[in-house]
């Protein structure tokens, strides 16, 4: 996201799932740089949070500003992670 005066700061939210042995495992990321707007990022985060709560997945979001020139995360995006959850559900059926 940029404007005529230069880049704005953008946010990155990483969801960290808590494992049974107490570790936090980075699971997926929502990167505002890949969204049309901050509102779209908020919408994706709201959807992800609702689904995570519905599934009772223990964890938390860590949201921070992206650093200038920071490369994209190699973690799955929310849509990819959601498909993984749905595929796991299908295997159990």
Concatenating the DSSP letter of every residue in 31-89 gives EGGGSSSHHHHHHHHHHHHHHHHHHT--EEEEEEEPPTTPPPPSSPBHHHHHHHHHHHH
Residue 26 sits at φ, ψ, to 5 deg, of: -60, 125
How high is the pLDDT of residue 6? Answer: 43
- Residues 12-65 have pLDDT tens digits of 999 999 998 988 999 999 999 999 999 999 999 999 999 999 999 999 999 999
Whole-model pTM: value is 0.82
SS3 (DSSP) at 6: strand
Which token pair is 57?
């997945």
């Amino acid at each position: 996201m940029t404007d005529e005066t230069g880049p704005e700061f953008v946010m990155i939210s990483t969801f960290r799932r808590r494992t049974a042995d107490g570790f936090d495992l980075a699971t997926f990321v929502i990167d505002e740089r890949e969204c049309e707007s901050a509102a779209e990022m908020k919408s994706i985060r709201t959807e992800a949070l609702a689904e995570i709560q519905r599934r009772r997945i223990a964890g938390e979001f860590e949201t921070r500003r992206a650093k200038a020139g920071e490369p994209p995360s190699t973690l799955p995006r929310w849509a990819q992670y959601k498909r993984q959850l749905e595929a796991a559900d299908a295997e159990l059926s």
